[in-house]
């Protein structure tokens, strides 16, 4: 029997309406549009406003749009995986809440957390369910309301992040398309450079942790940058080498959107020209787990059946990795 592959048969994204510009940020902290554009490449980011709305709201909007766009009934979905570092609550899983919000009832669902690499880890995990032959329609949704853990008095982190979600539908095929290979790595010792100090089981929330502003992202930017720039570039080059893909065989690189300088270095290391590197960091900033699906969604119309796409990410953990995705449909 031929091997089953998991192909992406639809993609949809959602970003909230509110646009937080560099100009507005410069009225909140000591920063400038020039600094943010030169060092990071972000012009604006989206922020989810509104009482009681969390990552599930973002994720549900993306999944609803995906179901509608692909003509899929919620009853046909057998598994939904949500990746997030900003779950609605510690439990239940945000995946369970999204399933309820969109009417998915004949499925099981769970969350994965691999920070900025979360979407790639979940895409591979979901594709293995599809490859088993037992799952016909599976959704992976990456959703992060980063504004819920950003300290808007800290100029070193507040320009970087935004809110958003992206979702894909995976289905089986015996043709040579879809999620064809991956390389994933982790180095948990990197957690000291990028984490949230309180609110977990090590340091539950207390008056002291709130007063010490420990429920926000803590990042040592330069240290993270050094690891990110080498590891993301290496993993993207490594998956090409492993699969004998030359730069001309690669249609697009879709990199995690954390810093334009990291993205440029990754493209250079792969030997591919800048027009093959898909970038939307200027519009949304770093939406953590949502950057890669949001970027594919933004450029979906360019994609053609058979395009070799390299996805590459680096993030908290540290986690990093790359995926070789052969695109399955001509997008209109
Ligand atoms: O997605 C998860 C993984 N995360 C990443 O990949 C992020 C990796 N790190 C980075 O992208 C960069 O390190 C940052 C964008 C976070 C920072 O850029 P940098 O070029 O590494 O800047 P820096 O931290 O070395 O700071 C340079 C200067 C400092 O001033 P002094 O000490 O040279 O006087 C900072 O205080 O820039 C200052 N600075 C700012 N100035 C204006 C830091 N933040 C700002 C700001 N506006 N927002």
Same domain? 172 vs 200: no
Same domain? For 168 and 197 the reply is: no
Q: What is the mean pLDDT of the chain?
A: 97
Q: Is residue 68 part of a domain?
A: yes
Handedness of CA 277, 283, 285, 291 (dihedral sign): negative
Looking at the structure, tell me whether residues 77 and 119 fall in a common domain: yes
22 is catalytic: no
The last residue of a domain, from among 176, 198, 222: 176
Q: Catalytic site residue 116?
A: yes
Q: Are residues 214 and 118 in the same domain?
A: no
Last residue of a domain, one of 150, 176, 202: 176
Q: Give the number of other Cβ atoms within 10 Å of residue 318's Cβ.
A: 23
Residues 163-174 have a mean pLDDT of 98
- Residue range 31-70, pLDDT digits in tens: 999 999 999 999 999 999 999 999 999 999 999 999 999 9
Same domain, 298 and 217: yes
Task: Reply yes or no on whether the pLDDT at 332 is more than 80.
Answer: no
Whether residues 225 and 294 share a domain: the answer is yes
User: What does the chain come to in residues?
Assistant: 332
Q: Which residues of 189-220 are buried (b: 16+ CB within 10 A; e: fewer)?
A: ebeebbebebbeeeeeeeeeeeeeebbbbbbe
User: pLDDT band at residue 331, thresholds of 50, 70 and 90?
Assistant: confident
What H or E segment, with its residue span, contains residue 314? strand 308-315
- 103/16 same-domain check: yes
Whether residues 142 and 48 fall in one domain: yes
Which structural domain range is residue 125 located in? 5-176
Phi, psi of 271 (to 5 degrees): 75, 25
Q: Is the CB of 39 under 6 A from ligand 1?
A: yes
Ligand 1 atom with the shortest distance to the CA of 25: 48
**What are the tens digits of pLDDT across the range 70-127?**
999 999 999 999 999 999 999 999 999 999 999 999 999 999 999 999 999 999 999 9
**Helix extents (H) in the chain:** 22-26, 33-39, 55-70, 94-102, 118-131, 207-211, 221-242, 260-270, 281-284, 291-298
Domain match, 145 and 247 both: no
Nearest Cα neighbor of 146 from 24, 54, 23 is 54
Residues 166 and 227 placed together within one structural domain of the fold: no
Q: Which of 113, 256, 259, 295 is catalytic?
A: 256
- Residue 191 and residue 311 in one domain: yes
126 belongs to a structural domain: yes
CB-ligand 1 contact for 92 (6 Å cutoff): no
Residues 6+ positions from 65 with CB-CB distance below 8 Å: 12, 13, 14, 167
Residue that terminates a domain, selected from 143, 176, 209: 176
Q: How far is the CA of 286 from the centre of ligand 1 (A)?
A: 14
Task: CATH number of the domain at 291, please.
Answer: 3.40.47.10
Domain-embedded: residue 331: no
CA of 258 to the centre of ligand 1 (A): 12
Ligand 1 neighbourhood includes 258 CB (under 6 angstroms): yes
Q: Is 244 a catalytic residue?
A: no
With a 6 Å cutoff on the Cβ, whether 31 touches ligand 1 is yes
In a domain, 332, yes or no: no
Q: Is residue 33 part of a domain?
A: yes
Of the residues 116, 158, 182, 295, only one is catalytic, namely 116
12 and 155 co-located in one domain: yes
Ligand 1 mean position, distance from CA 185 (Å): 25
CA 162 to ligand 1 center in whole angstroms = 17
Nearest atom (ligand 1) to Cα of 228: 6
Instruction: Specify the pLDDT at position 52.
Output: 96
Structural domains counted in the chain: 2
Q: Residues 197-252: pLDDT tens digits?
A: 999 999 999 999 999 999 999 999 999 999 999 999 999 999 999 999 999 999 99
Q: List the structure tokens of 181.
A: 């290979």
pLDDT per residue as tens digits for the range 309-326: 999 999 999 999 999 999
């Amino acid at each position: 029997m031929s091997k089953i592959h998991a192909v992406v048969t639809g993609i949809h994204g959602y970003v909230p309406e509110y646009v937080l510009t560099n100009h507005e940020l410069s009225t909140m902290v000591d920063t400038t549009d020039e600094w943010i554009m030169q060092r990071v490449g972000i012009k604006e980011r989206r922020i989810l406003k509104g009482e009681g709305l969390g990552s599930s709201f973002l994720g549900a909007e993306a999944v609803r749009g995906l179901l509608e766009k692909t003509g899929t009934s919620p009853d046909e979905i057998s598994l939904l995986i949500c990746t997030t570092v900003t779950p609605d609550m510690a439990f239940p899983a945000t995946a369970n809440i999204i399933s309820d919000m969109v009417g998915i009832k004949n499925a099981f669902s769970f969350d994965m957390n691999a920070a900025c690499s979360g979407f790639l880890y979940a895409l591979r995990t979901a594709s293995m369910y599809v490859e088993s032959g037992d799952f016909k329609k599976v959704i992976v949704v990456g959703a992060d309301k980063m504004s819920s853990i950003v300290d808007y008095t800290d100029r070193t982190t507040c320009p970087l992040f935004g809110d958003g979600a992206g979702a894909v539908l995976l289905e089986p095929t015996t043709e040579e398309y879809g999620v064809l290979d991956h390389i994933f790595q982790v180095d948990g010792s990197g957690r000291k450079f990028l984490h949230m100090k309180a609110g977990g089981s090590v340091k539950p929330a207390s008056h002291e942790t709130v007063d010490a502003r420990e429920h926000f992202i803590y990042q040592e930017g330069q240290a993270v940058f050094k690891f990110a720039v080498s590891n993301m570039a290496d993993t993207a080059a490594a998956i090409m080498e492993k699969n004998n893909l030359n730069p001309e065989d690669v249609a697009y690189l879709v990199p995690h959107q954390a810093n334009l300088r990291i993205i440029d270095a990754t493209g250079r290391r792969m030997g591919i020209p800048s027009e093959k590197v898909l970038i939307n960091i200027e519009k949304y900033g770093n939406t953590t787990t949502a950057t890669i699906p949001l970027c594919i969604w933004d450029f979906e119309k360019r994609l053609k059946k058979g395009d070799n796409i390299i996805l590459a990410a680096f993030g908290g953990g540290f986690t990093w990795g790359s995926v070789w995705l052969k695109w399955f449909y001509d997008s209109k």
